[in-house]
Structure 1
Amino acid sequence: MQIMENAPAKINLCLNVLSKREDGFHEMEMVMTTIDLSDRLTFTIQENDITVDSNSSFMPLDERNIVVKTAQLLKETYHIDAGVHIYIDKIIPIAAGLGGGSSDAAATLRALNQLWKLDLSLEQLAELGERIGSDIPFCVYGQTAYVTGRGEKVKPLPSFPSCWVIVVKPFKGISSWTVFKDLDVDSLPNYSIDQLVHGIEHESFDECIRYVGNALEEKASQQNPRILTVKEKMLEFGAEAALMSGTGPTVFGLTQNLTKAKRIVNGLKGFCKEVYLVRHLN
């Protein structure tokens, strides 16, 4: 038996860091959505073992892989006798702030729930995903949402207003922990998420773009100044809004005009190799 599952990238429309928690993580407040830039995972049932293969040479294929960790957690928690072979067709850039690994893990939870006939709810899958990574609960649901805690508290929202998303990944990746290391929370900007949520609920693209923002952008830009360069070029070429996703270094721009979106893409191809034009997912 074989199942295929899409694992879409996520973007942070707004990201605030509220405080440093006693457990070492940071208390976050975010609005996130998914975009039509997806890894494709194929799951084939086999005897006992969990094995992984991929078209990407930039990820481990052993127990260090987040997909393997996720499958093992599910297998051990529910005492599954069967195994699975997982092939990851990797499209989402790695170490990019797009949640590719988390989305792969979420896709693994959804697919194995079917393949191993576990009949678990999305809420149960999200709780399992939380044990592996902070972004996985959001990726399990895979829709626009208000997200708090360290990422595990997910409140679904209506779909973000229809638009084109220009995604640009500068060459140098960033590890999330390096952005949060020695982070001075009190010095960070704080964006009006309530206003953004209001814009989403009223399907107002113009209101939404006034309130997007990422409190980690300046810190990440110290590691990779190309982030600000790409953002400035996006706005110069006509994007209605542009900001970094997650801990970076990927920058995305938003516009409802396809002609303008194509012009932005053509303008940015001279600055970065990895440039994508996609829609957000409803």
Structure 2
Amino acid sequence: MLAERAYAKINLTLDVVGRRPDGYHEVDMVMQTIDLSDLIWLERIESGLQVGSPASHIPLDHRNLAYMAAAAFLKHTRVSQGVRIWIEKQIPVAAGLAGGSADAAAVLRGMNRLFGTGLTLDELADIGAAIGSDVPFCVYGGCAVATGRGERIRRLAHPLKAWVVLVHPPVHVSTADVYGAVTPADYAARPLSPRMTEALIDADVDEINHLVRNGLQPITEQLYPEVALLRQRMANVAKVPVHMSGSGPTLYCLTPTQSAGQRLYNAFRGFAKEVYLSRFV
């Protein structure tokens, strides 16, 4: 039996740049791994796939991305044995933090270790691309520019060690509904990823906060007004910019120090139940 960490991500930029022939939207994003994580336990079994979790709000069958990843790995490698997967959830579900994709990526990495198959991260990412758009990024972790439908990854090394305070409101956001409401008027004429890349390399938190942009945020806030209300309340308390990750509803603030992050965490706990203090990985 072995354990593998599944790290959440935030979007520093998310620009929708067009519509693809396959029906997906073309995106240009800068994504960053944070240390909010699930823990995935993997154990060899004679055959088949088993998924378990103490979390009551995730499927434990073929609908679970971790299950899909395990099935895809076994098919690709032709490993004759099976695997038992146990998921300890900490990342909020349907939160814009790629929790399910992170679990799938951790299963791919972990099964590669468990069975000694020797696949590269690039090969694991290729398997993951068929499971979900965020899975390839989650296989690599760190920071990257993601294009296409999110599966084309250009990894980015930078020195910034920022802290992140996240608030997850009790709102269920449908990613399909959010993307379904995107119109050509919402397309970004010029993605911000090149400028964000420079700011990350310069470790300039003020400039990063200035550049953070999520093209889905106005759409999510129109469909789910409570997200907009929460963002405004957070901004009034924090006096720093408040951003949204993915299609939401999770909102976050960036701070350069743990002490500043702790102060925001304490302030947000005054009116929000799910608050997390995390940092870049």
**TM-score bucket of the superposed structures, by smaller chain:** over 0.9
* Secondary structure at 2:137 match in 1: helix
Quote how far apart the aligned CAs of 1:69 are. Answer: 1.0
Q: Which structure 2 residues correspond to residues 1-282 of structure 1 after superposition, within 5 A?
A: 2-159=1-158, 161-188=160-187, 192-238=192-238, 240-281=240-281
Quote how far apart the aligned CAs of 1:189 are. Answer: 5.3
* Secondary structure at 2:45 match in 1: strand
Quote how far apart the aligned CAs of 1:59 are. Answer: 1.0
Q: d(CA) in 2 for partners of 1:43 and 1:187? A: 42
* Secondary structure at 2:242 match in 1: strand
Deviating 4+ runs (over 6 angstroms): none
Structure 1 residues 134 and 160: alpha-carbon distance in aligned structure 2, compared to 1, 3 A threshold? farther
Unmatched 5+ stretches in structure 2: none
Counterpart of 1:203, as a letter, is: A
Q: Percent identity?
A: 39
| 1:129–1:137 CA contact under 8 A, matched in 2 | yes
Counterpart of 1:268, as a letter, is: F
Q: d(CA) in 1 for partners of 2:57 and 2:79? A: 30
Q: d(CA) in 2 for partners of 1:112 and 1:134? A: 20
- What TM-score, normalized to structure 2? 0.95
Q: d(CA) in 1 for partners of 2:205 and 2:188? A: 22
Unmatched 5+ stretches in structure 1: none
Residue deviations 1:37-63, cap 9 Å, x none?
A: 000000011101110100111111111
Structure 1 residues 176 and 249: alpha-carbon distance in aligned structure 2, compared to 1, 3 A threshold? same
Quote how far apart the aligned CAs of 1:192 are. Answer: 2.4
Residue deviations 1:142-169, cap 9 Å, x none?
A: 0111110001111111236222100110
- State the Cα RMSD in Å: 1.5
Q: d(CA) in 2 for partners of 1:118 and 1:239? A: 50
Q: d(CA) in 1 for partners of 2:100 and 2:32? A: 16
| 2:8–2:91 CA contact under 8 A, matched in 1 | yes
Counterpart of 1:84, as a letter, is: V
- May I ask how many residue pairs the two structures share in their alignment? 280
- What TM-score, normalized to structure 1? 0.95
Q: d(CA) in 2 for partners of 1:233 and 1:258? A: 22
Quote how far apart the aligned CAs of 1:201 are. Answer: 1.8
Q: d(CA) in 1 for partners of 2:178 and 2:47? A: 39
Q: d(CA) in 1 for partners of 2:26 and 2:52? A: 35
Structure 1 residues 53 and 166: alpha-carbon distance in aligned structure 2, compared to 1, 3 A threshold? same
Counterpart of 1:275, as a letter, is: V
